[in-house]
Amino acid sequence: MNETLVLKGNIIFTKNTDKFEIYNNAFIVSIDGKVKGIYKELPKEYSNCKIRNYGNKLIIPSFVDLHLHASQFLQCGMGMTKQLLEWLNDYTFDLEKEFQNEEFAKEVYTKFADKLVDSGTLRACIFASSSTKGTEILFEILKKKGIGAYIGKVNMDRNAPNFIIESTEESIKGTEYLIKKYKNEKLVKPIITPRFAPTSTDELLEKLGELTKEYSLPVQSHLSENINEINWVKELFPDSKYYLDVYDKYYLFGHTKTAMAHGIHLSDEELNIIKGKNVILVHCPDSNINVRSGIMPLRKYLNMGIPIGLGSDIAGGHKIALNEAMVRAIQLSKLLSINNPEYKPLTIPEVFYLGTKGGGNFFGKTGSFEEGYLFDALVIEDDKLIADRYSLEDRLERFLYLGDDRNIIARYVEGKEIKQI
Ligand code: GUN
Ligand code: FE
């Protein structure tokens, strides 16, 4: 198709966690949805292309949220005095049940998708609910939006109220239906999603592992989030040495690419196992605080070379905007560093990397503007008084700390502009 797109502006991104790559007043060229290059002077071969000139605005990679629950969107900012297992029972399951109602699912998922895209998240790993029909509705809504997502029907066949669990058979049948319907989609694709070990029987995990293998699918779930949860997993699966073994035993832990939310309480032995697998841990800082699960020792994991992405964990986290998660990750790291001089707080390029290229790796080449990367981008407008006075790095930091959807004036996925209606 050979579609060439040329944008002009101040281009900032991260190749790695060390520093920002900064190009003042430059051109970025995307061909067929992929970055071709960044140029101070536009090469002659593109001189006939129409240029979208964003002047003094910032052009950055769009955000990648590696863990959130679309079905918990209405619940954001509520039940925040509870801890995880109590919160699930008192708030979450009741709400997730409602997605069996198609009208409700349509209304809420539309609001969810609008807010997600408004906030600049253009790739996401999403838990829907246990309702097959509700999950199908979410697929259709996100397909129309034109953003990239992995969507999972949530599998549960025990240890949750009857109104929300399914029989093992029903759960697998609905999952396979969605896999068959959406496996060849380009942007919105299925992902195997056992909610977490405690709500899964061995039989369910075994069958989900078989689907993972048969269709070569990615996997997402929760891992070692909360101490009571971990103790519960030990009781339910006495033969498993570690929590992760419950998934690993059934082909659900890094045999295909796997995103595990939280991973807060992990021994060095477990971390070394994770490091040798195709697993990315997802840090969800707001959720760590809100449901008081603990704080992921992110610096330690980064030093060990464990792949990490960021998640809003809506609605354990209360804000969907991923720049909020970046800021909270820094703030938590500062708290951890206060009584531990060895613990170096996170930097702005580090959290920006995690929320763009770090998580983006899960989707292939996205989250960066290096040559060959999918051109997924946001254009950011800030206050003129700020723009005139401060460096691009300062302006980006300020956007991460204070900015919101009102500052995002354009969004691109694979070189196509996403227009919010
Ligand atoms: N563990 C199992 N289910 C959930 C959930 O919905 N949210 C969070 N944060 N953790 C979970
Ligand atoms: Fe979660």
pLDDT digits 0-9 by tens, 104-122: 999 999 999 999 999 999 9
Pinpoint the alpha helices (H) of 216-321. Answer: 227-236, 243-248, 268-275, 285-290, 298-304
Give the integer Cα–Cα distance in Å for 323 and 107: 26
Pocket mutation for ligand 1, best pick of 97, 164, 195, 226 (most atoms within 8 Å of C-beta): 195
- pLDDT confidence bin for 337, thresholds 50/70/90: very high
* Mean pLDDT across the chain: 97
Nearest 5°: phi and psi at 54? -95, 15
Nearest ligand to residue 88 Cα = 1
Beta bridge partners of 413: 416
Nearest CA to ligand 1 atom 9: 316
High-pLDDT (> 90) share of the chain, %: 99
Are residues 296 and 388 both part of a single domain? no
Of 344, 363, 382, the one marking the end of a domain is: 363
Question: Ligand 1: does its nearest atom lie under 6 Å from the Cβ of 195?
Answer: yes
Are residues 83 and 139 both part of a single domain? yes
Amino acid at 382: D
DSSP, collapsed to helix, strand or coil, labels residue 100 as helix
Distance 379 CA to ligand 2 centre (A): 29
Q: What was the pLDDT predicted at 2? A: 72
Question: Ligand 1: does its nearest atom lie under 6 Å from the Cβ of 290?
Answer: no
What value does the mean pLDDT take over residues 233-254? Answer: 98
- pLDDT confidence bin for 421, thresholds 50/70/90: low
Query: CA quadruple 160, 290, 377, 405: dihedral positive or negative?
Result: positive
Are residues 354 and 391 both part of a single domain? no
Q: How many domains does the chain have?
A: 2
Sequence-distant (≥ 6) Cβ neighbours of residue 43 within 8 angstroms:
none
- pLDDT confidence bin for 88, thresholds 50/70/90: very high
CATH number (domain holding residue 162): 3.20.20.140
CATH number (domain holding residue 404): 2.30.40.10
Tokens of 366: 């996205």
Distance 6 CA to ligand 2 centre (A): 38
Are residues 82 and 49 both part of a single domain? no
What value does the mean pLDDT take over residues 57-68? Answer: 98
Distance 254 CA to ligand 1 centre (A): 20
Are residues 93 and 12 both part of a single domain? no
Are residues 290 and 407 both part of a single domain? no
Which ligand 1 atom is nearest residue 198's CA?
2
Nearest CA to ligand 1 atom 11: 222
Question: Ligand 1: does its nearest atom lie under 6 Å from the Cβ of 222?
Answer: yes
Nearest CA to ligand 1 atom 3: 195
Give the integer Cα–Cα distance in Å for 398 and 386: 9
Are residues 146 and 230 both part of a single domain? yes
Question: Ligand 1: does its nearest atom lie under 6 Å from the Cβ of 317?
Answer: no
Distance 110 CA to ligand 1 centre (A): 22
Rounded-to-10 torsion of CA 87, 88, 92, 93: -140
Are residues 41 and 25 both part of a single domain? yes
Nearest CA to ligand 1 atom 7: 316
Are residues 140 and 29 both part of a single domain? no
Distance 43 CA to ligand 1 centre (A): 50
Amino acid at 80: M
Q: What was the pLDDT predicted at 1? A: 58
| pLDDT tens digits along 398-407 | 999 999 999 9
CA angle 397, 399, 401 (to 5 degrees): 70
Distance 125 CA to ligand 1 centre (A): 14
Question: Ligand 1: does its nearest atom lie under 6 Å from the Cβ of 318?
Answer: no
State which residues form the domain around 143.
Answer: 63-363
Give the integer Cα–Cα distance in Å for 299 and 372: 29
Q: Is the pLDDT of residue 397 over 70?
A: yes
Are residues 356 and 379 both part of a single domain? no
What value does the mean pLDDT take over residues 79-107? Answer: 96
Which ligand 1 atom is nearest residue 72's CA?
6
Are residues 57 and 68 both part of a single domain? no
Return the residue matching tokens 């991973």. Answer: 263
Distance 294 CA to ligand 1 centre (A): 14
Give CA 106 to chain center in angstroms: 22
Give the integer Cα–Cα distance in Å for 198 and 212: 20
Nearest ligand to residue 229 Cα = 1
Distance 261 CA to ligand 2 centre (A): 6
Are residues 230 and 254 both part of a single domain? yes
Q: What was the pLDDT predicted at 420? A: 73
Q: Is the pLDDT of residue 34 over 80?
A: yes
Q: Is the pLDDT of residue 306 over 90?
A: yes
Give the integer Cα–Cα distance in Å for 360 and 368: 8
Which ligand 1 atom is nearest residue 293's CA?
9
Distance 84 CA to ligand 1 centre (A): 7
Sequence-distant (≥ 6) Cβ neighbours of residue 42 within 8 angstroms:
6, 27, 29, 51
Which ligand 1 atom is nearest residue 225's CA?
10
Give the integer Cα–Cα distance in Å for 9 and 302: 32
